[in-house]
Amino acid sequence: MAKKGKNIYKRKDGRWEGRYIKGYDLSGKIRYGYVYGKTFREAHEKQTKAQADLLNRSAPASNSKKILADYCGEWLVINRSRIKKSTYIKYRSTVQNYIVPRLGSCMPQFISTAVLENFSHELLVNGALQKDGGLSTKTVRDILTILHSILKYAKKQGGCKLSDFEIIYPKETKKEMRVLSREEQDRLVRYLLTDLDDCKFGILLTLMTGMRIGEICALRWQNISLPDRTVQVGATMQRLQKKDPMTQEKTEILIDEPKSLTSKRIIPLMPQTVELCARMGNHPPQAFVLTGEVERFMEPRLMQYHFKKYTEACGLRDVNFHALRHTFATRCVEVDFEIKSLSEILGHASVEVTLDRYVHSSMELKRENMNKLPAIGF
């Protein structure tokens, strides 16, 4: 029987056999590679190295004989200095975990629409290799976007003529985002104000400014100006995979600049928010807002855990942390907030993003607008 999640088996001769996917042939059939070790750990290490070698192997002399894994490695290298560290880590993780294991051994000129569709379908149904459950539609679309960029890079290098392929992106079903009603919002606020601490304060500040979870986790007291009545967003916190897969800790916390230039912004604070900040602000400037300490922070995963505990305690169901951002945007729309200003406060690149993703009209607002029609003789 395989060691759970590793695709490693103990043979009758006592050795451990590790199996990994080297790629697919043109018919879509999986091609496996095998490694062997005296112990499970040895087999696992060899298995991991073999998969990494698909990405890091030296390039052949002729472009016409290069496989996709070669181009993946080159594409990552040339983009390394062009993008943020966090973005590069995500790209590298996508290439190593999804693209190379399934398509790395294929020559780009033989990758067709059918091969790409099979690749997409496998991700939706089975997800990552050796793990249960398929990936979300959005994640698969992101993987296909990266794959498309790599194939375009391969085409530019010459030496191989790519087939006229088409990438068919899976249809994304737009989910209605959970937004707190005014009554639910009041209930949550009352609960958080009871026995108020640094974590609860951070949740209230998020609700009152529309910040993202990574932004509130990275926020320090020096970013809040009571005289100016503003909060400056200039960093975000993420947990990302480490480069070395054999280290004991597989991930690490990275505090970096926000995901885009528009995400770096200054948000004006409401009077009651300023009062709340003054009440809680007896901390060193370098201290994290969520902990009140300079060296200790609260990462997004732990923040989500606390938030879930609080919402369940006050009787709210199916509410994730991102609902605070959508709730803030909805309340702004309900008071006829100027949409360009709202877009900049949320840190969006364009007004269209705000209108498409964050403007949720409540039933109360819809009813209020319908009641305006009789005034014009409708």
Q: Is residue 375 part of a domain?
A: no
Which residue segment(s) compose the domain that 20 sits in? Answer: 2-157
**CATH number, domain containing residue 187:** 1.10.443.10
Q: Is residue 144 part of a domain?
A: yes
pLDDT reported for residue 61: 42
DSSP label of 331: H
- Using alpha carbons, select from 214, 186, 232, 225 the residue that is nearest to residue 84: 214
pLDDT reported for residue 191: 97
Same domain? For 149 and 199 the reply is: no
DSSP string covering 11-34, please?
-TTS-EEEEEEEEE-TTS-EEEEE
Number of domains in the chain: 2
Backbone conformation region of residue 72, classed left if phi is above 0, alpha if psi is from -120 to 50, else beta:
alpha
What is the token pair recorded at 33? 């590679």
Same domain? For 150 and 277 the reply is: no
What is the token pair recorded at 202? 């951070």
Task: Output the CA angle 214-219-223, nearest 5 degrees.
Answer: 145
Q: Which residue has the tokens 């191989």?
A: 160
- Dist CA 276 CA 273 (whole Å): 5
Same domain? For 141 and 234 the reply is: no
Find the length of the chain.
378
Phi and psi dihedrals of 367, rounded to 5? -65, -40
Q: Is residue 297 part of a domain?
A: yes
pLDDT reported for residue 132: 56
pLDDT reported for residue 60: 45
Same domain? For 44 and 186 the reply is: no
Per-residue model confidence as pLDDT tens for the chain (378 residues)? 555 456 888 899 999 998 887 765 544 456 788 999 999 889 888 888 887 777 665 444 455 578 899 899 999 999 988 888 888 888 998 998 899 998 988 888 888 899 999 999 989 887 665 555 688 898 999 999 999 999 999 888 875 677 778 888 888 776 778 899 999 999 999 999 999 999 999 999 999 999 999 999 999 999 999 999 999 999 999 988 776 555 566 788 889 888 788 899 999 999 999 999 999 988 999 999 999 999 999 999 999 999 999 999 999 988 999 999 999 998 988 888 888 999 999 998 888 878 777 766 666 767 777 777 777 676
